[in-house]
């Protein structure tokens, strides 16, 4: 029986499923799921792919999470979506009752409200049913029941340094906590990124966190050598060599080889006319030295489009010592693609398949490690995320 | 009392545009509404009891700014998704 490869597509106007067999030559597009809802991230559980989780928001409504237990055929809403603890003390309640302050303000500072649930990560293989989400404003929330209920990770959300770590404030898209990576060797070893805030690491299951930004540029800050305040766009731990971490940052492409605590700017080896700015980064699951990026124009007001209007993927096969351009099949010119941080991914097939989705609603795929590209769907809404699930 | 439900929230009310609930304040009314239609409150009221940015609630013709607003029990309540374009 042929394997089915499904690309899960999260868009500004709903979720879609693109299905093919393992040849990955032709693709069928599903009808939309939750049409009109903003789907920031949609992921199948690698431990049990019939479980899917989707982070959403609707234009007027607050954020929520939907989960499926039947491979996406039906969905239910989380009964306790991610939310910060209510911060209303007795005194404040009294003031609010008397009309002296708004209930979501405390000591002149706005109490935290989850504006969007932005990032999804399945938990460790030994923790079935456990998921993590990252939010705007920055927060980590944990589900132990496949997404039905969510609890705040207080070790991060209430960390004594939280206010300092997040004081750089919002990007135009919010202040996003993303790239929650769980070490496959140790479920208590976790990384995350905050855009803007930096990369952070926990070695005790999220009870405590430390910044991990040494060596990473932050040319927008007054103190370029600060411990935090950096702008990681995407962070990926290699699944088979978890000591190897790659980072696509606002200020370049980096690699870190633990136990070193210092980022090495491997983006300096990119062609100067292309630069090393972008959002996503994808690794080859079978080769820790191989990774792909999708460079974007980070000059001037940050167009976030393909440099020169000529889209290309760049690949390294030597951990960033050199990079090669891959653009066969992509438009040769006058194409201004934007690819968001969740919108590029790889499959688990041989040869390794790569996929990216654009803000113009196109999904491009390569079934040969980026050598040749073809557009497998057009005319979708703005794409926020892609992820892959394979089933027999 | 009768509550007008806007279309983005009708997935919670089985597509009913007008539902009945009760309460001595807007806060209590919304709690009771959420008991009848689980999840509906959080989509319009955040975890700090703030009315979400693009939601408006009217009791008769008075816009609600504070959930402690008292209710007599016979008012008409409108929940509105603030109109926006683009």
Tell me which residues of chain A have a pLDDT lower than 70.
1, 88-109
Q: Residues A138, B83: contact at Cβ < 8 Å? A: no
CATH code (residue B36): 3.10.20.30
A162 in contact with B at a CB cutoff of 8 Å?
no
| Closest of A361, A389, A391, A390 to residue A14, by C-alpha | A361
Token output for A74: 């039906």
The partner residues of A390 in beta bridges, in order of sequence, read A5
Tell me the shortest Cα–Cα distance from B83 to chain A, in angstroms. 9
d(CA A233, CA A224): 17
Reported as a single tens digit per residue, the pLDDT across A248-283 is: 999 999 999 999 999 999 999 999 999 999 999 999
DSSP-assigned beta bridge partners for residue A233: none
pTM: 0.94
Is B38 a member of any domain? yes
Q: What is the pLDDT of residue A109?
A: 56
pLDDT of residue A91: 46
Q: What percent of chain B has pLDDT over 70?
A: 95
Q: What is the CATH number of domain A4-84+108-391?
A: 2.130.10.10
Q: What distance in Å separates the CA atoms of residue A15 and residue A11, rounded to the nearest whole number?
A: 6
Comparing CB atoms, the residue among B44, B47, B68 nearest residue A61 is B44
B12, B27, B40, B42: best to mutate for the A interface, most A CBs within 10 A: B42
Least Cα distance to B9 among B80, B84, B83 occurs for B80
CB distance B48–A97 less than 8 Å? no
**In terms of CA atoms, which chain A residue is nearest residue B34?**
A79
Distance between CA atoms of residues A64 and B70, nearest Å: 29
Q: Where are the alpha helices (DSSP H) in chain A?
A: 90-97, 154-157, 162-165
Nearest Cα residue in chain A from B81: A60
pLDDT score at A90:
44
C-alpha span between A349 and A223 (Å, rounded): 44
Distance from CA of A69 to the nearest CA of B (A): 19
Compare all CA atoms of chain B with the CA of A36 and give the residue at the minimum distance. B8
Within 8 A of A58 by CB-CB distance, chain B residues are 8, 43
**Residue B86 counted as domain residue:** no
Nearest CA to CA, how far is A105 from chain B (Å)? 8
Q: How confident is the model at residue B84 (pLDDT cuts 50, 70, 90)?
A: low
First to last CA, chain A: 7
Report pLDDT for A383: 98
pLDDT at A30: 98
Chain B residues with CB-CB distance to A65 below 8 A: none
H/E stretch holding A385 reads strand A383-391
User: pLDDT band for position B54 (50/70/90)?
Assistant: very high
Q: Is B64's pLDDT higher than 60?
A: yes
Which chain B positions have a beta carbon within 8 Å of A137's beta carbon? none
Interface check for A116 against chain B (CB to CB < 8 A): the answer is: no
Q: Is A378 in contact with A35 (CB distance < 8 Å)?
A: no
Is position B22 within any domain? yes
- pLDDT of the residue at A166: 96
Strands (E), A92-217: 105-106, 109-110, 116-122, 131-136, 139-143, 151-152, 176-183, 186-195, 198-202, 210-211
- CA–CA distance, A68 with A61 (Å, rounded to integer): 21
Extents of the domains making up chain A: 4-84+108-391
Structurally, how many domains does chain B consist of? 1
Q: What tokens were used for A61?
A: 């409504």
Tens digits of residue pLDDT in A103-155 = 455 444 579 999 999 999 999 999 999 999 999 999 999 999 999 999 999 99
Regarding predicted confidence, which is higher, A298 or B3?
B3
Contact in structure between A198 and A213 (CB atoms under 8 Å):
yes
Residue B42 sits in which domain range?
2-81
pLDDT at position B49: 95
For the beta sheet containing A38-44, the strands, ordered from the edge strand earlier in sequence to the opposite edge, are A38-44, A52-57, A64-68, A76-77
pLDDT of residue A101: 45
The token duo for A9 is 């597509």
Q: What pLDDT does A315 receive?
A: 98
More confident residue, B84 or A251: A251
CB contacts < 8 A (A, B): 69
Q: Is A93 helix (H, G, I), strand (E, B) or coil?
A: helix
The alpha carbon of residue B74 is apart from the nearest alpha carbon of chain A, in Å, by 23
> Is omega for the bond preceding B25 within 30 degrees of 0, making it cis?
no
Beta-carbon separation of A103 and B49 below 8 A:
yes
Q: What is the mean pLDDT of residues B27-40?
A: 97
């Amino acid at each position: 029986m042929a394997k089915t490869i499904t690309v899960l597509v999260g868009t500004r106007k709903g979720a879609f499923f693109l299905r093919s067999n393992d040849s990955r030559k032709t693709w069928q597009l599903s009808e939309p799921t939750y049409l009109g809802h903003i789907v920031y991230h949609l992921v199948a559980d690698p431990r049990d792919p019939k479980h899917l989780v989707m982070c959403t928001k609707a234009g007027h409504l607050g954020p929520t999470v939907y989960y499926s237990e039947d491979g996406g055929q039906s969905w239910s809403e989380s009964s306790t979506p991610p939310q910060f603890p209510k911060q209303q003390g007795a005194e404040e309640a009294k003031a609010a009752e008397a009309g002296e302050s708004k209930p979501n303000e405390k000591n002149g500072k706005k109490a935290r409200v989850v504006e969007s649930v932005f990032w999804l990560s399945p938990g460790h293989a030994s923790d079935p049913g456990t998921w993590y989400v990252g939010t705007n404003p920055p927060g980590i929330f944990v589900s132990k029941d496949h997404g039905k209920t969510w609890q705040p990770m207080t070790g991060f959300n209430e960390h004594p340094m939280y206010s300092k770590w997040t004081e750089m404030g919002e990007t135009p898209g919010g202040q996003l906590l993303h790239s929650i990576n769980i070490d496959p060797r140790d479920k208590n070893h976790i990384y995350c990124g905050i855009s803007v805030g930096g990369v952070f690491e926990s070695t005790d299951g999220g009870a405590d966190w430390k910044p991990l930004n040494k060596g990473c540029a932050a040319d927008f800050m007054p103190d370029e050598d600060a411990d935090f305040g950096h702008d990681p766009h995407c962070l990926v731990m290699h699944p088979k060599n978890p000591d190897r971490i790659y980072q696509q940052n606002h200020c370049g492409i980096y690699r870190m080889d633990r136990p070193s605590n210092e980022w090495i700017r491997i983006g300096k080896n990119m062609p100067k006319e292309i630069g090393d700015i972008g959002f996503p980064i994808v690794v080859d699951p079978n080769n820790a030295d191989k990774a792909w990026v999708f460079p974007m124009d980070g000059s001037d007001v940050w167009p976030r489009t393909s440099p020169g209007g000529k889209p290309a993927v760049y690949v390294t096969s030597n951990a960033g010592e050199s990079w090669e351009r891959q653009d066969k099949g992509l438009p040769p010119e006058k194409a201004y693609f934007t690819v968001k941080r969740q919108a590029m991914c790889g499959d688990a097939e041989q040869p390794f398949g790569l996929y990216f989705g654009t803000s113009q609603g196109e999904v491009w795929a390569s079934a040969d490690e980026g050598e040749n590209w073809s557009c497998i769907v057009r005319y979708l809404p703005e794409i926020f995320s892609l992820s892959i699930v394979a089933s027999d | 009392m009768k509550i007008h439900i806007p279309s983005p929230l009708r997935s919670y009310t089985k597509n009913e545009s007008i539902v009945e609930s009760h309460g001595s304040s807007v806060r209590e009314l919304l709690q009771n509404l959420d008991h009848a239609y689980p999840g509906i409150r959080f989509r319009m009221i955040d975890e700090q009891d703030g009315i979400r940015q693009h939601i408006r609630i009217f009791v008769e013709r008075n816009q609600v700014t504070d959930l402690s607003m008292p209710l007599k029990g016979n008012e008409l309540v409108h929940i509105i998704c603030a109109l926006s374009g683009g």
